[in-house]
Structure 1
């Protein structure tokens, strides 16, 4: 739980705040960009939300924060926000929220699939999310884009009997994975869901393509709000920038 006594001085006065345990993962700034800003290596509340939509987005950020570094005086609103996840994004895809510190706040996603539901990367273990997945029909698979974003995949796999899929070059991060991809050829995971090896960020990085239209890119590339375009960074490439740009 965030501690107001540790709140950053840059927070705008009001009900929401960020404390000094923030790891600058950017999750809150993605979820509620109108409220949270980046300041000298951490997040802060740049402006308190002024309407219901803004307060709802800020409450979702409280739920999603991997280090519980965001505080709020609106407990009921935060409880309501926690019940929204997985949060629908488009078609049969939803954002899991509940990011993990071990994954540095990486996003994970839930796909409601006719042949069995999938997680793309894994969130932290959270009873509310487990119950929501149960209501949605459970899980048949967990596709892990790379070693950094496994979080609590093992617990979700055990709970739902789901098969974990990861590339061999990153498989030491997920011992006991039920399916290990080798080589650099595409691998069909399910109808309209394909794994594509994209080495670079890590040796075993892969992306997942759903229905030929939605790409789960892991840390291969991402949307830059500053540039207004897709981007990648050599600074956070852990294996080979040459391979990453080639793939």
Structure 2
């Protein structure tokens, strides 16, 4: 819970603020970019929300913050409850952003896919009654796909509650030693109709993306959207193998998708041709000679 006594000086005056416990994970800036920006090593409220929609987004950011560093001088309970009820936040075609990011994964995003053959959780939010009940109302969880070892968070609790299978690559399986389904592959693997695991080693040796319906690519920490530059981004630091990272990005050119849904960093939808152009642009910025 945010502490007004730790309110950062970088906040503008007004109801919403960020305190000094902020870990600069970007969650609030994704949800409410009109109100939150990065200032130095923290996020801060640089513009107080104006109007119902901006205020709603600011309350969503408050709830999603993994460390509870966002507070209000006066809480509007009706608006807070409305924001709570908005999660999981629909994206498109039965795909939702869970919200309630976990400190255990440094505030990584997680996603939920409703599917008639069984629902999927991609990486893990905090284990909360609200989300458990929301998932139950949508038919539960059959599979928990873990993109890599950093974003496991409360996956075990969700898997235990719903009797779900946890899926992870063997190279990162030390993070989930009792995982129900361990994949040991260097090439893409069809996990179920419409769900394809794509190994993307680089950030970690076992990093994997999940391609759903040839439209939605869940990328973990491998790839994300940078709205300020309108470019795709990939890790510079905390990289297990830089050469493998570039090779993994290049291999994504073999796949068709419209959405990048990242664990860290923003999400984006582009037509597939533009997505491939952005991938090539990213490769060209990192090393010469990507393939056509």
Pairwise TM-score range, normalised by the shorter structure: over 0.9
How far apart are the structure 1 equivalents of 2:242 and 2:17?
37
Deviation string, structure 1 residues 31-57 (Cα, Å, up to 9, x no partner): 100000101100000100111110000
In structure 2, what is the equivalent of residue 214 of structure 1? 216
Q: How big is the shift at 1:75?
A: 3.9
Q: How big is the shift at 1:218?
A: 0.8
In structure 1, what is the equivalent of residue 192 of structure 2? 190
Find out whether 1:145 has 2:147 as its counterpart.
yes
Q: How big is the shift at 1:191?
A: 1.4
* Residues 161-180 of structure 1 mapped to structure 2, 5 A cutoff: 161-180=163-182
Find out whether 1:89 has 2:95 as its counterpart.
no
SS for the counterpart of 2:237 is helix
SS for the counterpart of 1:88 is strand
How far apart are the structure 1 equivalents of 2:191 and 2:185?
15
In structure 1, what is the equivalent of residue 2 of structure 2? 2
In structure 2, what is the equivalent of residue 105 of structure 1? 107
How far apart are the structure 1 equivalents of 2:179 and 2:186?
18
Q: How big is the shift at 1:60?
A: 0.3
In structure 2, what is the equivalent of residue 20 of structure 1? 20
SS for the counterpart of 2:190 is strand
Task: Find the partner of 2:206 among 204, 215, 222.
Answer: 204
Q: How big is the shift at 1:236?
A: 3.2
How far apart are the structure 1 equivalents of 2:238 and 2:187?
25
SS for the counterpart of 1:134 is helix
Q: How big is the shift at 1:187?
A: 1.7
Q: How big is the shift at 1:79?
A: 2.3
* Residues 52-131 of structure 1 mapped to structure 2, 5 A cutoff: 52-72=52-72, 73-76=74-77, 77-131=79-133
In structure 2, what is the equivalent of residue 244 of structure 1? 245
Q: How big is the shift at 1:13?
A: 1.1
Q: How big is the shift at 1:20?
A: 0.4
- TM-score, length-scaled by structure 1: 0.98
In structure 1, what is the equivalent of residue 225 of structure 2? 223
SS for the counterpart of 2:121 is strand
Deviation string, structure 1 residues 160-205 (Cα, Å, up to 9, x no partner): 0000000000001012100001021212222111111110000000
How far apart are the structure 2 equivalents of 1:115 and 1:74?
41
- TM-score, length-scaled by structure 2: 0.83
How far apart are the structure 1 equivalents of 2:156 and 2:217?
23
How far apart are the structure 1 equivalents of 2:166 and 2:213?
20
How far apart are the structure 1 equivalents of 2:58 and 2:10?
17
In structure 1, what is the equivalent of residue 44 of structure 2? 44
Which range is displaced more, 13-22 or 73-82?
73-82
Q: How big is the shift at 1:112?
A: 0.3
Which runs of no fewer than 5 residues in structure 2 stay unpaired? 249-292
Which runs of no fewer than 5 residues in structure 1 stay unpaired? none
Moved over 6 A (4+): none
RMSD: 0.9
SS for the counterpart of 2:167 is strand
